[in-house]
Amino acid sequence: MNAFKFITLTCCALTLVACSQAPSKKPLSNPSQSAPAVKLSDEARQFFHAIKTGDTQTALNYIQKGEALNVQDTFGHTGILLAVDYQNPEVLKALIEKGASVDTANKQGWTPLMKAVDIHQTDMVKQLLAADANPNTPTPQGWTALHLTSKPLRNQQKRYVEIAQLLIDHGAFVNQTRQDGVTPLYLTVVNNRIDVFNTLLAAKANPNIGRADGRTPLMQATYDYRIDMVKALLKAGANPNETDRKGLSALHYTVHDPKNPQQDYADIAQILIDHGADVNLRTAKGDSPLLMSVKNNRPDVFVARLNAKADAGLGTFNHWTPLMQAIQDQNTPMINALVKVQERQQKNADNALLQKINP
């Protein structure tokens, strides 16, 4: 293998799921992290070949001579990085003991620690951290080793939990963001990684840090219908009234996309409301959660909002109300419900006004 096979996290259509970018192919600006490629000496070539072919003894002989300890090949790989990639702990140990750099990144910005995390080699992660490898070194796009523990996978979940905890115990920043604002916690929601998700929350990860577009872990968990994550995030202090750049709160996300599977979001909506979600919070366009539930024909959440005493007469900034929308859509059940609620709310408002006039 001449180069690493880097992960590219699944990117969902539109903007409702975080798009994970593959680590950049540009070299890091810090020369100590990614030195320019050099013309390899015969010794260096033979050393790298020994690692790749599993000729451990030959590799160890070169290490003892101090040959090519920190030399990088065409791809920027050092001996330590190759030892990790080819899973040779003996060579890795010898290089560390000889003083080889544990933090030198390749041309794509990946460090040996990142590679060890990516291929879930727990023992190598321990070796590198014990040698003071920096868990917070980012790629040009902002990926850190902790981000990699949150990638989608079907196995090795227990190993990633252990690795995530190891990184945290050695000073990994749980709130480190990529250039697009994505934190490790947000990735665990996107990739349905409840195991690492719980580990990060236990380490006091901030549940209110959103992506560059403002979407928070709570909004994503709501949209993905992850009731367990929604409850955990709220318990950890997630703000149900935080909004993204479009003015959407988590409550709006229960009805935001009419193409989303018609699951019964009433339970999540009620959980958000019970934790203080504002049922009358309007988006940048002036849409209230109630109006959006009418627009997208979501009777489940519509009822939950009415039961929470949402203002049935609250319209957009152009005064387009939920009732107008229901009439336009010829949605008779919603029309009847809105008329009754508006009559009751108007009556209550009139009574309140009379009490002020005649206390």
Report the pLDDT value the prediction gives residue 13, as an integer from 0 to 100. Answer: 35
In whole angstroms, give the CA distance from residue 269 to residue 115: 41
* Closest to 111 (Cα-Cα) out of 140, 88, 90: 140
* Closest to 59 (Cα-Cα) out of 73, 72, 45: 45
- Percent of the chain residues topping a pLDDT of 70: 83
Q: Is the pLDDT of residue 69 over 50?
A: yes
Q: Does 33-107 carry CATH code 1.10.10.10?
A: no
> Please, are residues 123 and 98 in contact by the beta-carbon 8 Å criterion?
no
Confidence of residue 14 (pLDDT cuts 50, 70, 90): very low
The structure's pTM equals: 0.83
pLDDT tens digit sequence for 194-226: 999 999 999 999 999 999 999 999 999 999 999
Report the pLDDT value the prediction gives residue 15, as an integer from 0 to 100. Answer: 38
Report the pLDDT value the prediction gives residue 34, as an integer from 0 to 100. Answer: 45
Report the pLDDT value the prediction gives residue 259, as an integer from 0 to 100. Answer: 64
In whole angstroms, give the CA distance from residue 36 to residue 359: 82
* Closest to 279 (Cα-Cα) out of 261, 267, 292, 260: 292
Confidence of residue 304 (pLDDT cuts 50, 70, 90): confident
Q: What is the mean pLDDT of residues 43-49?
A: 92
In whole angstroms, give the CA distance from residue 333 to residue 313: 17
pLDDT tens digit sequence for 97-136: 999 999 999 999 999 999 999 999 999 999 999 999 999 9
Q: Does 221-359 carry CATH code 3.40.50.300?
A: no
In whole angstroms, give the CA distance from residue 115 to residue 193: 20
- Percent of the chain residues topping a pLDDT of 90: 64
> Please, are residues 92 and 130 in contact by the beta-carbon 8 Å criterion?
no
Domain locations in the chain?
Answer: 33-107, 221-359
Report the pLDDT value the prediction gives residue 329, as an integer from 0 to 100. Answer: 92
pLDDT tens digit sequence for 219-268: 999 999 999 999 999 999 999 999 999 999 999 999 877 666 556 788 99
Confidence of residue 278 (pLDDT cuts 50, 70, 90): very high
